[in-house]
Amino acid sequence: QVQLVESGGGLVQAGDSLRLSCAASGHTFSSSAMGWFRQAPGKEREFVVGIGRSGFSTKYADSVKDRFAISRDNAKNTVYLQMSSLKPEDTAIYYCAARGAIFNNYIPRLASDYNYWGQGTQVTVSS
């Protein structure tokens, strides 16, 4: 059974930084594209950033480009989301997701393209 466990969320002030982690088990992590999504109250879940299986390819939502950075450590089965210059509108539950990938640059943007999900971690940014 595939498990994804997020950690690192919390309450921060606008302009602060935060790093989220997602630890994976039960599947071949190095063969999976990984994504971070977020869902704010009353809004749909949205794509934030994704990384290809090898770690060389990434995709970012325009709203977080230049502020967020995704990385992965295949030896530790972990993907990270470094968030900087946080804004109140970044407040949401952040979810980690995984999808088996054949190609290194395959990074889905649609939530429906991911097979496995974590339970989410709350990020709250106060103004």
Dig out the tokens for 53 from the structure: 């299986």
Distance of alpha carbon 38 from alpha carbon 47, whole angstroms: 7
Is the pLDDT confidence value at 119 over 90?
yes
Write out pLDDT tens, residues 56-80. Answer: 999 999 999 999 999 999 999 999 9
Mean pLDDT across the chain: 96
Q: Give pLDDT, residue 27.
A: 74
Task: Look at residue 52 in the predicted model and tell me its pLDDT.
Answer: 97
For the cut 90, the answer to whether the pLDDT of residue 102 exceeds it is no
Task: State the average pLDDT over residues 22-42.
Answer: 93
